[in-house]
Amino acid sequence: MKREQLIRDVKREALARMEDSARTRDDFKAVIAQWDHLDKNRERKERYHEIGRDEKTLEAGYKDGIIFPVPISHPAWREALKGDFISMIFDNAYEMWQLIEDQDISVLVRNLSDKQKEVLFFSAVRLCTAQQIACYKENTDRAIRKLLAATFNSIRDKLAPLIREQITIGLPQMTLAKREFLEWYDKQKTRP
């Protein structure tokens, strides 16, 4: 560890001397080339630790009920090799309810139909648009938006009475977000 630190310090000092001694155009080009080299190395190292999902993963990962494994260079594999399995375990529509902290909402999501779970998963977890989900499901985006709206309304309609019951009982886990949701829900229901 000390040796690596010493090597880094020596390289940093060499670059500083190179910058200070630059007098000609060629000297400055050499300094710029050294900085470009260091930037490329830094960016390469950062890319190894980036976690990102693209649309190709969505299209290639799941087709006709068969799950294709992702390439070994994919961020999910890198997470798994580091020992972080959570995103791999719950990276499907049928197990996402286990990621929800609130028990009431978790039960509501678990009891949804398979179609509703898939659409909710792609919308909420994968952050796909209705058009992207429609391409994947081979459906129209209008049908996907309608299914999403029905799913959210189903969850809201079942969640509102649960929150009202918690308020009447006076449970300590009643949060401000739940109270705000209930106010918003009542306003939506009173609209013509």
pLDDT in tens, the chain (192 residues): 788 888 888 888 988 998 889 899 999 899 999 989 888 888 887 776 655 555 554 454 455 555 555 566 666 677 777 777 666 666 777 877 877 777 888 888 889 988 898 898 888 877 888 888 888 888 888 999 999 999 999 988 998 888 888 888 877 667 788 888 888 888 888 776
Q: For residue 13, give the DSSP letter.
A: H
The pTM of this model reads 0.53
**24 lies in some domain:** yes
CATH number of the domain within which 150 lies: 1.10.10.10
Whole-Å CA distances, 48 to 4, 30, 60, 91: 20, 28, 21, 21
Q: For residue 99, give the DSSP letter.
A: G
SS3 186: helix
Count the alpha carbons within 13 Å of 131 in the hemisphere toward its beta carbon.
Answer: 1
Residue 151 makes CB contacts below 8 A (sequence gap 6+) with 112, 116, 119, 120
**54 lies in some domain:** no
Number of domains, the chain:
2
The full length of the chain comes to 192
Residue 161 makes CB contacts below 8 A (sequence gap 6+) with none
**93 lies in some domain:** no
Predicted confidence at residue 52, as pLDDT, reads 55
**140 lies in some domain:** yes
**51 lies in some domain:** no
Cα(77)–Cα(84) distance, rounded to whole angstroms?
9
**31 lies in some domain:** yes
Radius of gyration for the alpha carbons in the chain, expressed in angstroms and rounded: 26
Predicted confidence at residue 68, as pLDDT, reads 53
Residue 31 makes CB contacts below 8 A (sequence gap 6+) with 15, 18, 19, 22
**18 lies in some domain:** yes
Predicted confidence at residue 60, as pLDDT, reads 46
Predicted confidence at residue 15, as pLDDT, reads 87
Residues 26 and 105 in one domain: no
Range of the structural domain that residue 11 is part of: 2-36
**115 lies in some domain:** yes
